[in-house]
Amino acid sequence: MICVSIGRSRHRHMMAEHKHLVEQGARFVELRLDWIAGDVNLKRLLADRPCPVLLSCRREVDGGKWVGNEQKRLMLLRTAIVEGVDYIDIEEDVAASIPRFGKTKRVISYHNFRKTPEELPAIYAQIAKHDPDVVKIATLANQPHDNLRMLKLVRESKIPTVGFCMGDMGTASRLLAGRFGSPWTYATFHQERVLAPGQLSFQLMTETYHYNKIDSETVVYGVIADPVGHSLSPQIHNAAFRQCQLNAVYVPFRVPAQNLDQFLADARQLGIHGLSVTIPHKESVIRKLNKVEAAVKGIGAANTIIFDGDSLAGYNTDCRAAMESLDRAMQPPAYDRGSIDGKTVLVLGAGGAARAIVYALQRRNAKVVVASRTTSRAEQLADQFGCSVVDWETRYSVSPDLLVNCTPVGMHPFVDETPFEKHHLRPSMVVFDMVYNPENTLLMKDARSQGCLTITGVEMFVRQASLQFKLFTGQEAPWDLMRDVLKRTTGAAKV
Ligand code: NAP
């Protein structure tokens, strides 16, 4: 179940939001009394409530807005119980002074905005002394391992326990809480009005993550990155799981570089069967893999890992996706100048994406020339794969059959920028832009207007995600759906 937290300064707005949420499918809400400006009218808030209500009134020390008299706050909580509210949230340190009465269920809570203490079981035991119907423990995650400690506590506790970590490193625990037996998880009404760090909106929780479908059998996949918030993979993978009726969820895990080993050691206990891997882990993850496909070895980077029994297998779907995108586009009747073999290819950029495509192009006997803003990086790449280098400023001196942009130039919000001026594009060129947000970058628009054959980053992104989906599930991916979701999401991100 999802409990949607509502914090508004006016009764009228709080009630309207409550009603609206129920119309949107919410079945349980938390009304945050500390947000209300002036005196709280409990009768008004609770009369004709359209779904069960949890009332809380947070002090500043617990992340709330209540700055008034503590006796007045405790009286408000007692009055709410007398008024017959469905659930009341009482902080552990004041729980002894607020007795059980009537049918109101007691949620005894503990908050820590600095850390997830080592002594979580002791905190649980202390709360258990206060006659709770539900234990609530919310702490800040300072490392991904905190999530596992919290979720294990949730699973092992005798009294129903809502336990999760706050902050962007704790978001995964909010999404996986139900899998570990938490009676509910919290969400916010609007992503712009987050009531606690790391909270997701009710819409995201339901429409993207299908939280209410998550149970103890749900198979977990995800992406590890730092930062991870920008990733569009949760949108497309979760939509694909839903379409294929799989009991699976795809979660964003923020994993800093120094926490990678611990996270991989924890992964199976979190229910993880497969992961997408991105910056900064693509290279460093390799030393943890027992099996790797040839491309991973050749490129020196993996973007997908599969947990297969005790072993960890690594793949690079970027490389395959890039080549499949090229091969599919460079075919008659759209393209009648033959395949990639022997073609001159100018690759712009010398980062991870460039490495993946240069590796594959070299194996196809293309004549690869790399131009990168930092020439030393291009030289390093050339040394590794045996291709040539030109300075960034002299990139127009190459007359390529195929131009591949592996820089982020043109990416949202810098949509008026291009890595290759229009007047240097010739109609015979194939132009491939790896940037996928937006799909129609300035480079793509210029290339089309010059009569070039174009391949967009969306094509490649959906292809690499489909290949991951196949590795994760063994099933063919719902390609059209994934493509639609990506286009919709990037379209929305543009505005
Ligand atoms: P990366 O490892 O950070 O490499 C970026 C490269 O672009 C570096 O060579 C960097 O040069 C260069 N660069 C950055 N800003 C530049 C600028 N303003 N002008 C010129 N060069 C610039 O990134 P990556 O992982 O290779 O990704 C590159 C792009 O490909 C990103 O936009 C990413 O979203 C996209 N991508 C798309 C897909 C897909 O499926 N469509 C897959 C992977 C990547 P310096 O060394 O000088 O910084």
* Residue 366 confidence (pLDDT): 97
Distance 67 CA to ligand 1 centre (A): 48
Give the whole-number percent of the chain exceeding pLDDT 70.
99
Which pair of structure tokens corresponds to residue 38? Answer: 């002036």
* Residue 490 confidence (pLDDT): 82
Rounded CA-CA distance 129/109 in Å is 12
* Residue 191 confidence (pLDDT): 72
Ligand 1 atom at shortest distance from the alpha carbon of 372: 9
Distance 456 CA to ligand 1 centre (A): 15
Question: Which pTM value belongs to this model?
Answer: 0.93
Which pair of structure tokens corresponds to residue 91? Answer: 């902080």
* Residue 198 confidence (pLDDT): 83
Residue to probe by mutation, ligand 1, list 434, 437, 443, 468, most atoms within 8 Å of CB: 434
Residue nearest to atom 3 of ligand 1 (CA): 351
pLDDT in tens, 174-200: 999 999 999 999 999 887 777 777 889
Distance 353 CA to ligand 1 centre (A): 7
Q: Is the pLDDT of residue 383 over 50?
A: yes
Give the whole-number percent of the chain exceeding pLDDT 90.
92
pLDDT mean over 112-118? 97
Q: CATH fold of 242-315+478-494, please?
A: Rossmann fold (3.40.50)
Residue nearest to atom 2 of ligand 1 (CA): 351
Q: Does any ligand 1 atom lie closer than 6 A to the CB of residue 460? A: yes
Ligand 1 atom at shortest distance from the alpha carbon of 377: 46
SS3 192: coil
Side by side, the strands of the sheet bearing 185-188 are 161-166, 134-140, 105-112, 87-91, 53-56, 29-32, 2-6, 185-188
Q: Does any ligand 1 atom lie closer than 6 A to the CB of residue 438? A: no
Q: Does any ligand 1 atom lie closer than 6 A to the CB of residue 351? A: yes
pLDDT mean over 42-68? 94
Report the DSSP beta bridge partners of residue 90: 108
Q: Is the pLDDT of residue 45 over 90?
A: yes
Ligand 1 atom at shortest distance from the alpha carbon of 279: 25
Domain boundary assignment for the chain: 2-215, 242-315+478-494, 320-455
* Residue 449 confidence (pLDDT): 98
Q: Does any ligand 1 atom lie closer than 6 A to the CB of residue 200? A: no
Distance 235 CA to ligand 1 centre (A): 22
* Residue 493 confidence (pLDDT): 47
Q: Does any ligand 1 atom lie closer than 6 A to the CB of residue 410? A: no
pLDDT in tens, 269-297: 999 999 999 989 999 999 999 999 999 99
Cα 20 to chain center, whole Å? 26
| pLDDT confidence band for 231 (50 / 70 / 90) | confident
Ligand 1 atom at shortest distance from the alpha carbon of 411: 32
Rounded CA-CA distance 325/360 in Å is 12
pLDDT mean over 451-458? 96
Q: Does any ligand 1 atom lie closer than 6 A to the CB of residue 5? A: no
Residue nearest to atom 43 of ligand 1 (CA): 353
On the question of a common fold for 242-315+478-494 and 320-455, the answer reads: yes
Which pair of structure tokens corresponds to residue 238? Answer: 């979760």
pLDDT mean over 65-81? 95
Q: CATH fold of 2-215, please?
A: TIM Barrel (3.20.20)
Residue nearest to atom 14 of ligand 1 (CA): 407
Ligand 1 atom at shortest distance from the alpha carbon of 463: 40
Strands, E, within 141-241: which ranges?
Answer: 161-166, 185-188, 219-225
Report the DSSP beta bridge partners of residue 162: 136
Distance 403 CA to ligand 1 centre (A): 15
Residue to probe by mutation, ligand 1, list 279, 373, 391, most atoms within 8 Å of CB: 373
Distance 8 CA to ligand 1 centre (A): 42
Which residues form the catalytic set? 111, 136, 282, 318
Q: Does any ligand 1 atom lie closer than 6 A to the CB of residue 318? A: yes
Q: Is the pLDDT of residue 492 over 80?
A: no
Rounded CA-CA distance 381/472 in Å is 30
* Pure H helices in 386-478: 442-449, 457-473
pLDDT mean over 14-22? 96
Residue nearest to atom 11 of ligand 1 (CA): 373
DSSP state of 482: H
Q: Is the pLDDT of residue 495 over 60?
A: no
Q: Is the pLDDT of residue 119 over 70?
A: yes
Side by side, the strands of the sheet bearing 272-277 are 248-254, 219-225, 272-277, 304-308, 311-315, 291-292
Q: Is the pLDDT of residue 413 over 70?
A: yes
Distance 420 CA to ligand 1 centre (A): 14
Q: Does any ligand 1 atom lie closer than 6 A to the CB of residue 436? A: yes
Q: Is the pLDDT of residue 150 over 50?
A: yes
Average pLDDT, the chain: 95
* Residue 491 confidence (pLDDT): 74
| pLDDT confidence band for 230 (50 / 70 / 90) | confident
Q: CATH fold of 320-455, please?
A: Rossmann fold (3.40.50)
Residue to probe by mutation, ligand 1, list 406, 459, 464, most atoms within 8 Å of CB: 406
Ligand 1 atom at shortest distance from the alpha carbon of 461: 40
* Residue 494 confidence (pLDDT): 41
Distance 468 CA to ligand 1 centre (A): 21
Strands, E, within 132-280: which ranges?
Answer: 134-140, 161-166, 185-188, 219-225, 248-254, 272-277
Ligand 1 atom at shortest distance from the alpha carbon of 458: 41
Distance 361 CA to ligand 1 centre (A): 18
Q: Which residues of 306-335 are buried (b: 16+ CB within 10 A; e: fewer)?
A: bbeeeebbbbbbbbbbbbbbbeebbeeeee
Rounded CA-CA distance 435/438 in Å is 7
Following CA atoms 480, 486, 488, 489 in sequence, which dihedral angle do they give, to the nearest 10 degrees?
A: 160
